[in-house]
Amino acid sequence: MKGTNPKVDRYFTKNERWEKEINKLRAIALDSGLTEELKWGCPCYTLIGTNVFLIHVFKDYCALLFHKGVLLKDDQGILIQQTKNVRSARQIRFTSSKEITKLERVLKNYISEAVEVEKAGLKVALKKTAEFDMPVEFTQKLKAMPALKKAFAALTPGRQRGYLLHFSSAKQAKTIEARIEKNMQRIIQGKGLGD
């Protein structure tokens, strides 16, 4: 296919369950004229280095994920917020290649709109890091360990939010404390949860 990136090819053959579907999505993606890259282990389609959308697979479905999907009109009502903590990205999910074929024109329109969002330089208003809940257990640990406090402050806002969401999503104080203990060294090393 024209515009394919050899670094991405393996993704389209290793996912046997969704191989037919993701190859159909790849053809649609490449038709957009965007650059195909491999990011987060997934095919990502970019406009001058800016992420527009990616293709990814899960156990029960494969999907197109628009990085600024919340800014798309979604006239068809097909965009899905993956989890309650996802602010910007939205997915279109598929369980068969027939669905993709049926929606091909719609998908191309959504992709075109996503490209226009990028060209216009539109930004998604994200929740500030200070607005996230900081568990008391983590506040106490930061007070007791100045090196941890300094390292946490040096993390990118996204990494900080990732840790805060991870810590505060636990229901019991014991679990929060265990998560903090498990991740303290990662924070001190300047790493995020997924690094």
Rg for the chain, CA atoms, rounded: 19
* Sequence-ordered strand ranges (E) for 25-146: 35-39, 42-47, 50-57, 62-66, 90-94
User: Among 68, 96, 119, where does a domain finish?
Assistant: 119
List CB contacts of 83: < 8 A, sequence separation 6 or more: none
| Pairing mode of beta strands 42-47, 90-94 | unpaired
Q: What's the pLDDT band for 84 if we cut at 50, 70, 90?
A: confident
pLDDT in tens, 146-185: 999 999 999 998 899 899 989 988 889 999 999 999 999 9
**Structural tokens at position 163:** 């840790």
Q: What is the per-residue DSSP string for 8-20?
A: HHTHHHH-GGGHH
CATH number reported for the structural domain that contains residue 95 in this entry = 3.90.1150
Separation CA 157–CA 43 (nearest Å): 25
* In a shared domain, residues 93 and 183: no
Domain count, the chain: 2
Collapsing DSSP states into helix, strand and coil, what is residue 68?
Answer: coil
* In a shared domain, residues 45 and 106: yes
Average pLDDT, the chain: 93
* In a shared domain, residues 84 and 133: no
* In a shared domain, residues 133 and 108: no
- Across the beta sheet with 42-47, the strand order is 35-39, 42-47, 50-57, 62-66, 90-94
* In a shared domain, residues 111 and 142: no
pLDDT in tens, 96-125: 999 999 999 999 999 999 999 999 999 998
* In a shared domain, residues 166 and 107: no
* In a shared domain, residues 98 and 145: no
Identify the burial level of 86 via C-beta atoms within 10 angstroms of its C-beta, where 0-12 means exposed, 13-18 middle and 19 or more buried.
middle
Task: Tell me, yes or no, whether 195 lies in a domain.
Answer: no
What's the one-letter identity of residue 175? T
**Structural tokens at position 30:** 């490449």
Task: Tell me, yes or no, whether 100 lies in a domain.
Answer: yes
* In a shared domain, residues 75 and 149: no
**Structural tokens at position 136:** 């008391």
Question: Whole domain around residue 13: which residue ranges?
Answer: 6-119
* In a shared domain, residues 41 and 115: yes
DSSP 132: S
* In a shared domain, residues 73 and 31: yes
Q: What's the pLDDT band for 83 if we cut at 50, 70, 90?
A: confident
